Amino acid sequence: MAITSVNFKGFNIKNPIMTASGTYGYNDEYDDFIDVSSLGAIVTKAISLKPREGNKHNRITETKAGMINSIGLENVGIEKFLTDKLPVLKKKNIEFVINIAGSTIEEYIELAKKCETNKIKAIELNVSCPNVKAGCLEFGTDENSLYELVSQVRKEFTGFLIVKLTPNVTSIEKLGLVAQNAGADAVSAINTLKGVSIKFNYFNGRFNKTIVQGGYSGSGIKPVAISAVYRLSKVIDIPIIGIGGIETLEDVLEFFAAGADAVQVGTANFTHPEIAGKLVRELEEYIIKNGFKDLEELKKKLRK
């Protein structure tokens, strides 16, 4: 068996294939399709301090190269997550990261405290969701706000701290440096791009339109994501988790070549629910077939 483990600071995973927040539920919803425990880790959908109903309008639409979502961070809230969802994760021995989202710094701090109290190994700060009215993106696009948020969370949480970066900025490199300097252990990049879908038909002398505005994800954003990871790798020293349009092993290897230490599979889970497990197997086979000592040797040769 190939050695594919990734040794993060205080958070070690058996392989670099993770699942992206918002695409894999809370814990084991994909059990009917794959052995979820075979993955490196899953990232839960975003958890807020209080339950959220999400947006009431059209939430999702397909595009030619992905989809646009405007879910609005619907979730059960941290208390119900801790009582109902966390025990399942622990029982099934699944490595996981809790994605947390707030409208204020105080909400993020409270969430971090609860994660610390419950001995959560890793959290991912959602500072980059483009389809909520307050919080998240406000922190992820402003250097001073991001520094204050990450540094305050760092004081409360001793586990592995990931900051999920937005591509909807002029310089993702600056924000990566801010996250690093504020105490983040890693960054994940990228979250969704801002997108709008307009679908219409002409009937009885008028256009009937359906407009969905939200976060664009899927295969179409991969070049943007690869660029972000590559540029971040030139300026920060902490690990980078690549996200955006991953569907094949070749996509995974591209992210490694750009500087990613692990990857998260997102939108592809909806169309191919077995995809993450398939990528785990294909990566192991590729390492063995080509005679690499382990995953780290493969990454080094990809980056030469």
Catalytic annotation, residues? 129
Show the beta-strand stretches assigned E in the chain.
6-8, 11-13, 17-19, 41-43, 60-63, 66-69, 96-100, 122-126, 160-164, 186-189, 193-203, 206-217, 240-243, 262-265
Report whether 6 contacts 241 (CB < 8 A). no
Cβ(16)–Cβ(4) under 8 Å?
yes
Largest CA distance in the chain: 67
> How are beta strands 60-63 and 66-69 bridged, if at all?
antiparallel
Q: What whole-number distance in Å separates Cα of residue 166 and Cα of residue 172?
A: 7
Q: Residue 136 forms beta bridges with which residues?
A: none
166: tokens are 């937005």
- Check if the beta carbon of residue 274 is closer than 8 Å to that of residue 247: no
**In whole angstroms, what is the distance from residue 255 CA to residue 87 CA?**
33
The DSSP result for 115-129, as a single string, is HHHTT-SEEEEE---
Q: How far apart are CA 141 and CA 190, in angstroms?
A: 13
Distance CA 95, CA 4 (A): 15
